[in-house]
Amino acid sequence: MTLDVQYTAVVFALVSAFLFALTNHLQSLGLRGSDARSGSLVNIAAGAVMYWLLAPFYLESWYWLTGACALFALVGLFRPSLSSAMALSSIQYMGPTLTSALTACAPIFGALWAVTLLGEQVTLRIAVGTLAVVAGCVISAYRKQGVVRDWPLWALILPLGAAFVRASGHVGTKIGLEEVASPSFAVLVGNTVSLVVASIAFRIEGRTFTGNLDSHKWFIAAGVAAGLSLHFLNSALQMGTLVSVIPIVSASPVFTMLLGYLVFKREIITWQTIAAMVLVVGGVILVVTS
């Protein structure tokens, strides 16, 4: 891997992290007038529609006849339908900052998959850097008297489950991109399959679609941001290794915190803000320089 490709992968991973953080805040705004499952449907649909509209610019007919297409579809059975629903439910219980902090465990799951399935090597720098990113993300959720908990303990399954599903999806996507080098096609197939799965589950469960245009506009915006985030993530995975890309993408809680302070006015700068940024930035530097 040349230095130019390596640094491009880093930039793409950071852009993906920023867009994912923005998605969390936009979803949180949408949840004020709707529920997690309805919002998840709108979110996924917005991303799928966007990539179908853009399909003439990147789609080639032979893509559909490849094993990569089947792999992207398999990933789409779980991500983003399941991961998005779990993350949205977690935001509803815990809020966007704590959800981002707990889903930051994705690098740990990703490293396990990378070593066992892809044969990638986890160097000391990558290991230390990954732990620093995870520690920084956890600190970002710390509050004066610890994490204020007004949610049930079982809710921890939601963000951790979302992290596991996302990390697993990264592996499948990276393998598929070796055959079809189109990050946009991977998002198109994944989001389309996820939309079908989420719609069927919604219908079987007999749920009522809630919300109005005012709340759904935030989910639509979140879907566009999430779709772009996945594109940059897939591009980074195509260029770099799983163990180096996922820790950088998982720096999104720092962006969530900064956006909460600078844009959405939900956060205040405290000692843990500085500590989290030092740990995450230092961890990312370690991973990149490895």
How many whole angstroms separate alpha carbon 29 and alpha carbon 22? 11
Q: Which residues span the domain enclosing 77?
A: 3-289
Q: What are the backbone dihedrals phi and psi of residue 235, each rounded to the nearest 5 degrees, phi first? A: -65, -40
Strand partners, 181: none
Greater model confidence, 205 or 19? 19
pLDDT of 227: 93
How many whole angstroms separate alpha carbon 228 and alpha carbon 222? 10
pLDDT band of 5, cuts 50, 70, 90: confident
The pLDDT of residue 15 is above 70: yes
Section 239-263 average pLDDT: 80
Section 24-43 average pLDDT: 84
pLDDT of 143: 57
For 127-179, write each residue's pLDDT tens digit.
887 788 777 766 765 655 555 556 777 787 888 888 888 888 888 899 999 99
Alpha-carbon Rg of the chain, whole angstroms? 18
Write the single-letter amino acid at 227.
G
Section 69-81 average pLDDT: 87
- What 3 state SS string does the chain have? CCHHHHHHHHHHHHHHHHHHHHHHHHHHHHCCCCCHHHHHHHHHHHHHHHHHHCHHHCCCHHHHHCHHHHHHHHHHCCCCHHHHHHHHHHHHHHCHHHHHHHHCCHHHHHHHHHHHHHCCCCCHHHHHHHHHHHHHHHHCCCCECECCCCCCHHHHHHHHHHHHHHHHHHHHHHHHHCCCCCHHHHHHHHHHHHHHHHHHHHHHCCCCCCCCHHHHHHHHHHHHHHHHHHHHHHHHHHHCCHHHHHHHHCCHHHHHHHHHHHCCCCCCCCHHHHHHHHHHHHHHHHHHHC
pLDDT of 2: 65
pLDDT band of 213, cuts 50, 70, 90: confident
The pLDDT of residue 267 is above 70: no
User: pTM value?
Assistant: 0.81
Lowest mean pLDDT among 101-115, 218-232, 244-258, 264-278: 264-278
pLDDT band of 230, cuts 50, 70, 90: very high
The total of structural domains in the chain comes to 1
